[in-house]
Amino acid sequence: MGRKKGNDVDGIILLDKPLGRSSNSALQKVRYLFNAKKAGHTGSLDPLATGVLPICFGQASKVTSFLLDSDKRYRCTAQLGVTTTTGDKEGDELDVREITPFCKDDIEKVLMNYRGPIEQIPPMHSALKHNGQPLYKLARQGIEIERKVRNVTIHELTLIDFTEDSITLDVHCSKGTYIRTLAQDIGEAMGFGAHLSLLRRTEVSPFDCSTLYTIEEIEKLANENALAEILMPIDSALKEFPSMQLKSDEVALIRNGIKVKRDDTPETDMIRLYTENNEFLGIAKHGLTESGEIMLVPRRLMNTQAPLSI
């Protein structure tokens, strides 16, 4: 096989994924605009959803697995009185119920039960797999599989607005939370049923998501040869973890996959490593020898030589 076409691009951008486009389609478009050999995203958004989709180029793809565990924030609207086969507006109607008048206090009483640790049953229309087959493909065949209850945490659940037949919420949640399921469950608890009519991801930890880039903006920057200006360093995805600087002899050992004796190694599985010149080396973890010596153990190393932030 020949080498994959494109340039060696290392870094991260925060894409504002458009409505109606799959995460993979958006990823491939951005990868094309950057002419990058390698790119991946961290956590899919449905075509119905918009908002923050971190895209990792080149060596940054090595940190995507760590980002999958990060907290997220969403703005969502639940349409009351109608349930659907998919739990969102793309599905067929299942049940239509009369909506009786309600007030803010009625909503708040329900929301109280969905803050903190909660249990969810993942929807059939999801990317979870059963015997290697995505559940949504089975759902399209009319097949329903029993799903295990999963534990998630709703850190914050705030009522933003409501109408006579809808509620809009701000949700700060742990990994693995299905906002569709949350909207459905809240609708059921209110007695009307509901489906998700709007979903926007507004934050992905640990990034500052105040500046996102649309595909159109990236196209414009590509035409101006200014794409490098919006690339964030790889370690921007890991800034919540402790860091250590290594001397040149320690760097040589770590780069060869050899443990380094360091008594000041934090007791964690996620430590950012840097050279004395602030070059980001990768991720290490705390380890112990049989005799109890504290060791710095390489975990995931970068091949890039680019100086990055600390």
On whether the CB atoms of residues 274 and 244 are closer than 8 A, the answer is yes
**Which residues are CB-neighbours of 144 under 8 A, at least 6 positions away?**
124, 138
* Residue type at position 56: C
Helix (H) or strand (E) holding 156: strand 150-163
On whether the CB atoms of residues 82 and 165 are closer than 8 A, the answer is no
With 0-12 / 13-18 / 19 or more C-beta atoms within 10 angstroms meaning exposed / middle / buried, residue 228 is exposed
Q: Which of 46, 88, 185, 235 is catalytic?
A: 46
Sequence-ordered strand ranges (E) for 32-149: 39-41, 50-57, 72-80, 82-84, 93-96, 116-120, 129-130, 133-134
- Is residue 264 among the annotated active site residues? no
Catalytically active residues are 46
